[in-house]
């Protein structure tokens, strides 16, 4: 393993295609967030700055995201979908990084507990009406931030996202950057969900697939539901 690849162990590495599949956010949108985009104002060509400060970027040879990037883009997408402009999202991300001294401020446990006050402070200081309106409408903010975005996320001692249970913790599917390079796996046995699904189809038996990979039958069933319903 090369030195550059070694430094990303435990962080998870996701291509744009994988990130789109796991988050359902269009890769074109993710690319714009990671690299910015060119635009023209009064005949002058300008470049928008990135919103996501990825730990990888193009260092892996192609545009890629870490697990922290993956969790962060879900928050940015939620803001966009609730009427917050691209400009406001970009400014909010920059100021939130300064305010919390974190590279991925929206996905931290601190934002989970203090998100409304943090956004209010950013909105007032930067005169961002979309964010301020979102903050004033507490019900709407709670609908954006919880339970959808933080549901199933576990945090480490540094208040950073450590693993994600996309089907809730009651199910056996987990995305953990410390295991299988961050691919979706079943928690009991660590087998990738796509492998279990392929095995069940090939053998035409969920029970046989469970025996072949030495996992509980419900792990196979959860994997099938996750791959066919959650990622469809």
Asked whether the CA dihedral 131, 16, 105, 174 is positive or negative, the reply is: positive
pLDDT (tens digit per residue) in 147-171: 678 889 999 999 999 999 999 888 9
pLDDT digits (tens, 9 = 90+) for 11-54: 788 999 999 999 999 999 999 888 887 777 777 787 778 888 88
pLDDT digit string (tens) for 103-128?
999 999 999 888 888 888 888 887 78
What is the Cα–Cα distance from 213 to 198, expressed in whole angstroms? 12
Q: Are 184 and 22 in contact (CB under 8 A)?
A: yes
**169 touches 155 (CB < 8 A):** no
Give the residue carrying structure tokens 């996992």: 215
- Rounded to whole angstroms, what are the CA distances from 149 to 59, 127, 140, 141, 195? 28, 25, 13, 11, 27
In this prediction the pTM is 0.85
């Amino acid at each position: 393993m090369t030195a550059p690849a070694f430094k990303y162990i435990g962080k998870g590495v996701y291509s744009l295609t994988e990130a789109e599949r796991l988050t359902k956010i269009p890769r074109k949108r993710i690319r714009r967030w990671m690299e910015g985009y060119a635009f023209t104002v009064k005949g002058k060509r300008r470049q928008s700055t990135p919103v996501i400060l990825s730990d990888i970027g193009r260092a892996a040879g192609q545009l890629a995201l870490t697990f922290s990037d993956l969790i962060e883009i879900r928050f940015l997408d939620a803001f966009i979908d609730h009427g917050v402009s691209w400009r406001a999202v970009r400014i909010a991300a920059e100021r939130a990084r300064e305010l919390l001294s974190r590279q991925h401020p929206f996905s931290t446990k601190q934002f989970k507990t203090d998100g409304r006050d943090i956004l209010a402070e950013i909105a007032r200081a930067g005169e961002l009406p979309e964010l301020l309106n979102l903050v004033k409408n507490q019900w709407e903010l709670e609908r954006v931030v919880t339970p959808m975005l933080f549901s199933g996320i576990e945090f480490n001692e540094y208040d950073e996202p450590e693993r994600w249970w996309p089907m809730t913790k009651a199910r056996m599917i987990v995305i953990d950057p410390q295991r299988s390079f961050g691919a979706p796996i079943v928690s009991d046995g660590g087998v990738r969900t796509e492998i279990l699904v392929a095995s069940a189809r090939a053998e035409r038996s969920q029970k046989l697939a469970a025996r072949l990979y030495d996992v509980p039958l419900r792990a196979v069933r959860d994997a099938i539901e996750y791959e066919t319903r959650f990622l469809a």
